[in-house]
A and B are shown apart, each in its own frame.
Chain A
Amino acid sequence: MADQKPAKPDHPKTQPADLQELGKNLRRARGKTDPETPAPGRINSREMSMAFRVMTELAAAIFVGGLLGWYLDKWLDTTPWLLMVFLILGMASGTLTAFRTAKRLSDESDE
């Protein structure tokens, strides 16, 4: 959507006059609305979904870490040590994933 360019200015003669007029009107209308400023006080569903995305990554990593530790413990008969170790590793990896996602999201919004 964003890369839709307005009518090319270097071929003005190839277009009928009413198309040029339409293009001018379109550009004027687009200039009026600024999509980047959301109304204050309203729930921004985009931002909410970003927050939810980071949150699930945080929680899921702890879950996966715990699950991995649980099964390794059962397999190696080392209850409860690996569960503890992997829970902490899961928290670390959740933070790492959440950090990467947040970084990617902020890089995207900077562009």
Chain B
Amino acid sequence: MAEEHGAEHGPLDQFEIHRLIELEAFGVDVSFTNSALWMVLNVAAITVFLTLTMRGRAIVPGRWQSLAELSYTLIAGTVKDSIGQEGRRYFPFIFSLFMFVLFANYMGLLPRAFTPTSHIIITFFMSGLIFVGVTLLAIFKHGFKFFGFFFPPGVPVYLAPLIIPIEIISYLTRPVSHSVRLAANMLAGHVMLEVLAGFVVALGIFGFAPFILVIGIFALEIIVAALQAYVFAILTAIYLSDAIHLHH
């Protein structure tokens, strides 16, 4: 990695993509990269975590089982609160998203790990897919009435030329802010950790000061990782709810 282009180990090296298995399909580079490897590990870890912890199905859960139940009830409650009863059928989708982002964020905190969610292309793919899916769902469910979403009731008609572009931009902003927020949070946290860790080595005996800071920021990162996964899931639920109920 860093050794290949000089002794310098930069704080951005951790985000580099490497091809592990070179593949090409129809002229498109579909190589198996480290990003893909960590996503596969991520899905495997989620599967192992959820199946092993829920194997006992004890009435009084142990530590592991309550971890799994905690994440389940958190998302189930969120979906129920923001979508309502119709939201139940979307629960598997939102729960999978939440677990994927959560595990990607947490596994990225391991030493030498790669964080797929720190790449905007990964998060933008997810949010873009949600955006397209939610829009199609709204059109299928409400037909032409969907376009009334861009002109809220109670607004004077002569304001339409102003309100409609604003509402359309606001709607198109969703996938951008949805994806940028997650990627920027993960990117910023990881860069900050690496830069400060570099100071620990560079400052020698005085390195203890940034070292304490690194511990603090790592603790903050643990919170941010869970929080951002939750925010990603809750926003998906809110967008779904807007599509189902057609109001802001």
Contacts and interface: CB of A to CB of B under 8 A. Distances in A.
B184 A56 contact: yes
B12 interface: no
Given A49-B231, A53-B231, A60 B73 contact: no
B173 A94 contact: yes
A97 B231 CA distance: 16
Contacts of B77: 1
Contacts of B51: none
Interface stretch (A8-16, A30-38, A63-71): A63-71
Contact of A89 (B169, B176, B180): B169
A64 B174 CA distance: 10
A81 interface: no
Measured as residues with beta carbon below 8 angstroms from the partner, the interface class of chain B is 20 to 34
Which of A53, A64, A90, A92 neighbours the largest number of chain B CB atoms within 10 Å of its CB? A64
Contacts of B31: none
Chain A interface mostly helix, strand, loop or mixed? helix
Interface in A80-111: 86, 89-90, 92-94, 96-97, 100, 104
Interface in B199-242: 220, 223-224, 227-228, 231, 238
A93 B231 contact: no
A46 interface: yes
B176 A90 contact: no
A45 B172 CA distance: 28
Nearest to A68: B169
A60 B165 contact: no
Interface in B47-101: 73, 77
A110 to B, nearest CB: 14
A57 B223 contact: no
A53 to B, nearest CB: 6
Which of B177, B220, B223, B231 gathers the greatest number of chain A CB atoms within 10 Å? B177
Contact of A52 (B162, B167, B173, B185): B185
Interface of B: 73, 77, 162, 165-167, 169-170, 172-173, 176-177, 180-181, 184-185, 220, 223-224, 227-228, 231, 238, 248
Given A45-B220, A56-B184, A64-B172, 14 more contacts: A45-B224, A45-B227, A52-B181, A56-B177, A57-B173, A59-B177, A61-B169, A61-B173, A64-B169, A86-B169, A93-B166, A96-B166, A96-B170, A97-B173
11 contacts: A56-B181, A59-B177, A60-B177, A61-B173, A64-B173, A68-B169, A89-B169, A92-B162, A93-B170, A94-B170, A94-B173
